[in-house]
A = this chain, B = another copy of it.
Amino acid sequence: MHTRKAPIEPRDRLADTLYAKFFSGLADETRLRIVRYLLEGPHTAGEIVTELGMSQSRISNQLSCLKWCGYVYAERHGRNVMYRIASPAIGELLSTAQRLVAANACAIAECTQLA
């Protein structure tokens, strides 16, 4: 028999560190806004700055953070840099989250505990 296709890797702390870091990419309102904006289609850095109304420096930093984590990638077009979502799996991630959040929005909003 073949080994069964595991839906989830065996636990190990190294991986957990990595995943935590990965998820922290989305654990910030600004970055989430960028990601959701890009889910509507590619945009240049400048467009993102305008859309979110934040400083160029701030957006640029968050973009490079999203790049590190593999959420987006960048392509130079002339003097502009076009950003796009790196994989359709990111849309899935968000829509799965939506279902979970929808079932629980009030609890999350009210959460005063740690985290």
Contacts and interface: CB of A to CB of B under 8 A. Distances in A.
A26 interface: yes
Interface string A21-33: 1111111110111
Given A26-B23, A32-B16, A7 B101 contact: no
Q: How many copies of the shown chain assemble into the complex?
A: 2
A18 B97 CA distance: 10
A40 B27 contact: no
B110 A68 contact: yes
A95 B27 contact: no
Interface residues of A, number: 60
Given A7-B95, A22-B100, A16 B33 contact: yes
B22 A97 contact: yes
A28 B21 CA distance: 8
B29 A16 contact: yes
B26 A68 contact: no
Interface of A: 7-9, 11, 13, 15-29, 31-33, 36-37, 39-40, 61-62, 64-65, 68-70, 86-87, 89-101, 103-105, 107-111, 113-115
